Every structure is written in C-alpha cells, then in structure tokens.
Structure 1
Amino acid sequence: MTRRSPVQALARLVGLAATLLLLGGPARAEGLRVGFGKADITPEVGDPNHPVFLAGFGQGRQATGVHDPLWSRAVVLDDGDRAVALVSVDLIGVQLELTQAVRARLERFDLVLVCSTHNHEGPDVIGLWGPGPTVSGVDTDYLKQVEDGIVSSVLAAEAALTPAEASYGTAEDETLLADSRPPVVKDGVLRVLRFAPPGGGAPIGLLVQWNCHPENLGSRNTLVTADFPFATVRALEQRHGCDVAYFTGAIGGLMSAPETRLQRPDGTSYREGEFDFAKAYGEAVADLADLALAGEEPIALTPIAVSRVEAALPLENPLYRLARVAGVLDRVGYRWTGDPFAPGASLGRRNILGPLAVLTEVSYLRLGALHVAAIPGELYPELVSGRFQDPADPAADFPDAPLEPDVLSLLPDGPSLILGLAADEVGYIIPRRQWDQAPPFTYGRDRPLYGEVNSVGPQTAPILMEALRLAVERAPGR
C-alpha cells in the first residue's frame, strides 16, 4: 500500500467530511434539474455506395443487416448556474474532433462529454477496420449522422429538464467479468444514479456505469447491434418505466463477459456469437443494477463544477504512425515537446516524421457529493483501484517504473463514477510497469500479451493520471 503524507491525509479527511455533509443533507440541492433524451444513430445497411464496416475485430467485416438499433443517449444536469451533458453512444469510440464538433453546436453547456460504450458490433468510426489494413472504414456521411444524433439527443434531454432528486448505489460482482490478460484485476463495481421528482414518484431516469467490453457477438457476426447494453437498457426501462443511459467504465485488461458464468435453461453455457448470450448477459447486468438500487442512498448533485485538462500523448505505436500516412487514422498530430501539457505545433494529418503526439483530454466533474472521472480510452482496472502487481513481472519492459496514482486515490473521497472512452478513444491505457513488447516476455510466454498493439504508447497511463490529478486540483471551488 502507498503511504500518504500527513498533508495528503488531512486533505482527504477534509474532502471526506465535505462529502458526508452533502450526503447527510437533503438529496435535492436547490436548482437541480435533470433531463434524458435519445436519438437513433443506426446506419443504413445495404447501400453499395456506403458499405458499413463493423469495428472492433479484424478488417473487412461488412454489415449485412440490423439486429437492434444504435442510440445516442444523453443525460443533462442543470443546477441553475451550470449545465453539463453526459452522452453515451453505441459505438467503438468517438474521436476528440467529433466531440469538439458537437460542443461547437452546444456552446451554452459548460461541458458536453461524448462517451462510447466501445461496441464491437457497430460501424467503424475510427478507421482501423475498413476493407483492408491500408483503407479506412469510416464513412464521413455516417460520422455526420452521428454528430447530428448526439446533438439531437442532448437537445431532447435539455427540453425534458425537470426538477429532480437523486440517489446513488453500487453493487459488486467480479464473477460477471473475465480478464484475459494477467495479472487478473477487475473493477467489478456497478455504479448507478436514480433520478425522481422531488418528494418521490415514478423515476425520471437511471444512469448506469459498468465495466465490460460489448463484444458478446464476436468477430463473425455481421448484424449491427448494440450488443449486451441493448438488453441491459431494455430490461431496466421495462422494470422501472423510465429512460436509462448506459456508460462504460474501466474495460482494459481485458474485460469481457465470461461464457461459463450464465447458463441456459438446459444447463449448458452460452457461447460468443449468440444473441441469446448478449441478452442473458445484459439482463444479468440489469439485475446487478437493481441490486445497487436496493441499497441506494440520497445524494446531492449540486453545485456543479467542471475541470478539463488537455494532454499530449507521444505517438509511439509504429502501426498507428503508418496508419496516419495511409489516412486510416485521420487525426491531427502535434510535435512532441517532451512536456505533455505544452504541445508543439500542429503537424497536420499525415506527417509521421520526428517526435509526434496526439492531443486528448481528461475531465473531472464534481456534481455535489459525486466525483466523476472522465478518461479518454480503455482504462485498465488497476488504474482505478491501485491493485497493481508489485513487484512487476521482471520480464516487463519497464518493471521498475513508478506506479501511477490510481483514479480513486486522486478523486476526493465519496461516491464516484468512472467514465471510460470519454470525449475520445486513445486505445488501451496500460500501467507502465505492465508494458510488454520486447522479449523476454512476461509470465514465461513466447510472445507479447495483447494490448500494446492498440495503445498510443507506454507513457499514456502516467500522463493521463497526471492530467486527472491536475483536473481535480484545478476544479473550481476547491
């Protein structure tokens, strides 16, 4: 365990005291209003001029139909002084430029966070899963459809704003997660917010955050689907008679649905690729959400404070650098200066020469007693809880690298939400001590573990955790 200094300990005690005061007070802080809205972002499938390439596995997986719709779901919170929009889309991961385009159309909001569920059965909106490794799978017309849908969902949520009280609950079940990369560490905590009219009544909506890859349908499926979150949202909407927004948390490492955890009525196990598997797993997540709601406590979500920190990540992944040249990754690069918080000049979209970086961002929201960390990628669970392997496997590339501060230690004490793939998707966020590309390989393997191939580079986790620390430190009203 990391030992804190007396100053750090005092600061956390002060934060805990403030949180307890907020939790112990009335759940309805003056001025709290909430609204839910959604918009259909399902692509048109079957137009030969606009093929839909599905994201998340290999190249060339072209959609042949639609099993269930994809949605942009928005939750707007307004305290009378500030308004924020939390949006979740059933996609592999939006890029920061799309989030910025949405924000430019919704300037009156103090923050719009566009998050992705990391759905592996929706269209390629990044570029990596086109007809071949050198051809982007992105349809720019579809990107515009997604942008319009996100804006529409936020406007619908804003139009639905109504006075509200909030409650917060958690439930934990690590058996609902499989971790395919050692060391096995999971964030098995489901976090949920319930909104209801002041004084009680039928709920207005639920916000659910869980930590699993939506990839139950696997690499052979060719039907567009939201995967298990579709079943989770549908089950909770039917049970509670209100809108539901599902958000993804820490899914790196690599979190997926275990095939042996759930049983068919005949006692056999579900298998990847079955829609019944996605349905059963989604409903099991809904059951866990109901367990969390059974222990919910009132929580004040005002006042609202927003803090956002831009960070440059050195682009060290050679495949990503080559993909820029081919236009597969169509993203502006910047000169890497060695300082993640002082990026160099823009280098355009194709340059790969010299030290190169991409810009991203980390956000911290203080919603009354609730602390929200918004991280732009697939966060390894170790970086949430601090349960690092220590000492690291000696075959790791950087076994003596300093341990990153974890999210829960950086946030003030109290209830939390961990929003992954928030505003951007920079790939896997791997603790530096676990980075493993050069031989000898960890755990006696004859090849590297999966993960690094879809990460910007080994400096990503330390930089993003430092950005979160700065965001918390700079939050208004601290």
Structure 2
Amino acid sequence: MRGLTNFGFGISDFGTRQVHSEIRNPKSAMTTLVVLPTLVLLAWSPLVAAEVTAGAAKESFALPAGVPLAGYSRRGGKPSHGLHDPVGVRALVLADEDTTVALVSGDLLIIDEALFHAVAERLRAEGLPADLVLVLAATHTHSGPGAYGRRFFEKISMGHFDPRVFEAIVDATARAVARAWRSRAEARLATAAGPTDGLVLNRVEADGPVDADVVVTGVYPVASGQPMAVVVSFAAHPTTLGAWNMELSGDYPGVVMREIERRFPSATALFFAGNVADQGPVKSGDRWERTERIGRVVADRAVALVEGLDPQAVSAVSAQQDVMRLPPAQLRAGRVAIPRWLGGALVDDDATLSVVTAGSTVFFGAPCDLAAGLGARLKAHAREQGLQPQVLGFVSDYVGYCVPEALYRKKQYESSMAFNGPKAGEMVTDRLIRMLDATNRQ
C-alpha cells in the first residue's frame, strides 16, 4: 500500500464562483518620445525598453532538531535523523509599474491555505506591495519538514503540528521574497523545453501519457549574459526516496537546483513540480544513488537548454489569481464512500488558481497533483496562442489530485485522492484556460 503522501484537504460546493480575482493589464511597450534630443535617445535605450525588473534570493529553513518528515504515513510522525542536504526556499520576483509577482519554491510536500495566507500577511507587514501576487509552491519532496499542517489528514503524512516549524517556514519564505524584491534590476527572460529519456513513467497506466520534458525559464540582468534565476520544472514525482529515509532532503529536485547553481554561480535555481499526479520516477540504482542520478540528468538537460536561450526584454507582467469552488467533497476509503457531511468537514471548500504571463512565457499555477493529460491541455492551449508554457504544481493551496474523469473511474490510489469527484480535474483545467484567455484579452 502506498504511503498517504498528500492526504490533506480539498474543496467543496458545486459550481464555479470567482471569490477573488486580480487581473493586470499588459502595458504597451511603446515609450513616449519627447522632442528634446536627450529624451529621444533615452526612450530608445535598453534601460527604458526593459520595463520589467526581477530579483532572486534563497533562504534555508531553521528547523528544530528532530522535526518529523512529511510525505509518507508509514513514518508515523517519528523524529527525523538529521539533515542529508539543505532544505529551504527560493524566490523570484517579477515586477513592472503596476504588477508585482513572487514565484516561490519551497522544499515542502504541499502548500496549504494557512501557510499561503501567513506568508502573504508577513510580506504585507514587511512593506512589500499590498497587491503582490504570491505564487507559493512546494517542490513536493517527500523528505522535507513536516509538522506544519493543522488539518487532520495533514497530520497523517506530516506528524503533529508544531508552531515552531510553521513559523520557521513562514520566516524563511518571507525573507527570501523580501530580499528578492529589494534586489530587483531590469531583466530579460526566455523559456525553452526539451525531452529526457528513461527518467519518467506513467505510474497508473502503462500505456498512459508520459511527460518527460524539462522546461526552463532563464531570467537575466539587462547588462549580463549570466542568469540571475533559472526556473525549472519536471513532472516525475519526487519519490526517489521512500519512507525508509529519515533524513531531511530535497529529493531529486534538491540535486537539480544544486547542480544548476553550481553551473551558473550567479543564479538562484527554483524547482517546480509539473503535472506529476500520474508520473513517477524510473528508479534505477540504490537509494541515494537514484536520487543523484535523476537529479543530475535533469540538471544537465536544464543547463543545456539555458545555454541555448536568447533572452529578450519584457515590457509587462500580467497576473491573475482566482479562488474557485468545486463540487462537494466525495471522499472514499477504498471502495467505501465517506458521507458528504463528514467529507465536507474534513476538506476545504475553495482553491486558489494562478496564471502569470511575462513576455511569451506563461506560468500556470495549479493547487494540486495535476495529471499529465490535463497538463498537456494547458500547454497545448498556451502554444496555440504563441506562448511558451510552464506548469507549476502544488501552488498556493492543496486540493488533492486533479485527474481526468476516465482516471477517476479506475478506483486507484490517485483517484481516491481526487477529493471532489470525477469532474473536478477538468474544472480546474478549464478555469486555468479561461484565466489565460481573460489575461490575453486585456
């Protein structure tokens, strides 16, 4: 039986109701020309053409000794045995005159609603823009710190709540975002994707879709050819380390970020889990060996993609963040349906979705384990509009698994984790597509 990796919380109440939405209008890249010759020259200079600024930073988590690990119920909330490799948080801030977005990646299992709001509140208290759009994601390592979730199902896979751990995560995350904000400089960026071989399998259907692409976005200072940040996403579940591991670790995403930063010392690397719901890592080698192998291969592919980028100045950043409702909770324990009145008390009734565009790049922020087939729909829609997509999972909320209806009907682990019934996955995907369309119409 698989460990209860994400059995946390979900959403309920049928229908799609927009609770909150922030849409930023892309601005014209045209610079007003003034008659004075000096201002004409200034208007055409790279300094004015690059309207978007960017900054990046990272922080380590200062955790209490013995913090339980999050990821597998079989660990039973037991104390961890120390630190195998650093765990922490990385932030990239993108901003123009009207919009500020923070893309954040933490070495965590999931992001729950309480953590998201605590970080947002801390950032406001530290003087960052009140309308900052926070895209806060977990790498989904199954060997990161636990004890930061208060909900019943979170405690199964994380151990009992410890306010010291929660505050340590909030503190480090807020510091990273604030430092990134204060270090902003005018920037250029570009996105590229490329395949890998022999790293990913469909863990639900042998003949099902497989997403083995590495996607990178490089962010560069205007005056430098070396990146300040590299955003990398990959869809293999970060489960190269099993419940046997009792040391804190970023799993293979930690190796990816370490190796990218070694190759580009100027850069902060941010890893995001892609559409991982039905995507597993091909595990060859013993224990830590397979973690290193997958991480190094993904990093090598990412580095090659970055080296081939042609970064361009970007005139605007646009962001939309919506809270939506989904069908009532339909929790199941094996083949037994849990009464809806009880399911509704155990899971949330809303979910936060995010779409960010910068130049020809679009980031889709999904609050779940998103299936590869649904991620493929998002990517195809973006490419039809001339955009280069990057799917980010476990963003700003967690509502379980988002899977196609056909997969939901298979009565497997992944479908049992789809808390809101057979149509919720498509509803989340459809809403993200509509959000992108609305952003592009502005």
SS, match of residue 416 in structure 1: strand
Post-superposition CA distance 1:138-163 (Å, at most 9, x none): 32321121111111110011121112
CA RMSD of aligned residues (A): 3.1
1:409 equivalenced with 2:381 (yes/no): yes
Post-superposition CA distance 1:273-322 (Å, at most 9, x none): x22221221111101102222432334443111112211232111459x9
1:33 equivalenced with 2:50 (yes/no): no
Q: Which runs of 5+ in 1 are unaligned?
A: 1-17, 261-269, 326-335, 337-349, 387-405, 437-441, 443-447
Match of 2:297 among 272, 280, 284: 284
Separation of aligned partners in 2, 1:292 and 1:202: 13
TM-score, normalised via structure 1 length: 0.73
* 2:219–2:311 contact (8 Å) kept in structure 1: no
Match of 2:416 among 428, 432, 453: 453
**TM-aligned CA distance change 1:252 to 1:97, over 3 Å:** same
**Where do residues 324-339 of structure 1 align in structure 2 (5 Å cutoff)?**
none
1:67 equivalenced with 2:84 (yes/no): yes
* 2:69–2:248 contact (8 Å) kept in structure 1: no
Task: Give the equivalent residue in structure 1 for 2:43.
Answer: none
* 2:195–2:213 contact (8 Å) kept in structure 1: yes
**Where do residues 200-211 of structure 1 align in structure 2 (5 Å cutoff)?**
200-211=224-235
- Structure 1 residue 28: deviation in Å? 8.9
Task: Give the equivalent residue in structure 2 for 1:55.
Answer: 71
Separation of aligned partners in 2, 1:202 and 1:449: 46
**Where do residues 371-410 of structure 1 align in structure 2 (5 Å cutoff)?**
371-386=362-377, 406-409=378-381
* 1:361–1:423 contact (8 Å) kept in structure 2: yes
**Where do residues 167-206 of structure 1 align in structure 2 (5 Å cutoff)?**
167-182=190-205, 183-206=207-230
Task: Give the equivalent residue in structure 1 for 2:12.
Answer: none
Separation of aligned partners in 2, 1:27 and 1:377: 39
**TM-aligned CA distance change 1:432 to 1:174, over 3 Å:** farther
- Structure 1 residue 459: deviation in Å? 2.8
SS, match of residue 417 in structure 1: strand
* 1:309–1:467 contact (8 Å) kept in structure 2: no
* 2:107–2:140 contact (8 Å) kept in structure 1: yes
- Structure 1 residue 418: deviation in Å? 0.8
Task: Give the equivalent residue in structure 1 for 2:407.
Answer: 434
SS, match of residue 278 in structure 1: helix
Separation of aligned partners in 2, 1:138 and 1:299: 45
The one-letter code matched in structure 2 to 1:453 is S
Match of 1:45 among 40, 65, 68: 65
Task: Give the equivalent residue in structure 2 for 1:123.
Answer: 145
**TM-aligned CA distance change 1:365 to 1:208, over 3 Å:** same
Q: Which runs of 5+ in 2 are unaligned?
A: 1-25, 31-45
* 1:166–1:298 contact (8 Å) kept in structure 2: yes
**TM-aligned CA distance change 1:81 to 1:61, over 3 Å:** same
- Structure 1 residue 177: deviation in Å? 0.8
Moved more, 158-167 or 376-385: 158-167
Separation of aligned partners in 1, 2:48 and 2:210: 33
**TM-aligned CA distance change 1:471 to 1:56, over 3 Å:** farther
1:137 equivalenced with 2:167 (yes/no): no
* 1:57–1:129 contact (8 Å) kept in structure 2: no
Separation of aligned partners in 1, 2:81 and 2:346: 41
Match of 2:117 among 100, 105, 120: 100
* 2:255–2:296 contact (8 Å) kept in structure 1: yes
The one-letter code matched in structure 2 to 1:45 is A
- Structure 1 residue 129: deviation in Å? 6.1
**Where do residues 309-388 of structure 1 align in structure 2 (5 Å cutoff)?**
309-313=322-326, 314-318=328-332, 352=343, 358-386=349-377
**TM-aligned CA distance change 1:300 to 1:477, over 3 Å:** farther
Separation of aligned partners in 2, 1:101 and 1:281: 34
Separation of aligned partners in 2, 1:28 and 1:416: 27
Percentage of pairs with the same residue: 21
Task: Give the equivalent residue in structure 2 for 1:468.
Answer: 432
Higher relative contact order (CA 8 A, sep 6+): 2
Residue-pair matches, total: 384
TM-score, normalised via structure 2 length: 0.79
The one-letter code matched in structure 1 to 2:296 is E
**TM-aligned CA distance change 1:136 to 1:455, over 3 Å:** farther
**TM-aligned CA distance change 1:175 to 1:299, over 3 Å:** farther
1:223 equivalenced with 2:237 (yes/no): no
The one-letter code matched in structure 2 to 1:466 is D
- Structure 1 residue 119: deviation in Å? 0.8
Post-superposition CA distance 1:77-96 (Å, at most 9, x none): 11232211000000100102
- Structure 1 residue 250: deviation in Å? 0.8
Task: Give the equivalent residue in structure 1 for 2:277.
Answer: 252
Post-superposition CA distance 1:168-224 (Å, at most 9, x none): 222112522122111421222211122222243433221111112211111111111
**TM-aligned CA distance change 1:174 to 1:408, over 3 Å:** farther
SS, match of residue 154 in structure 1: helix
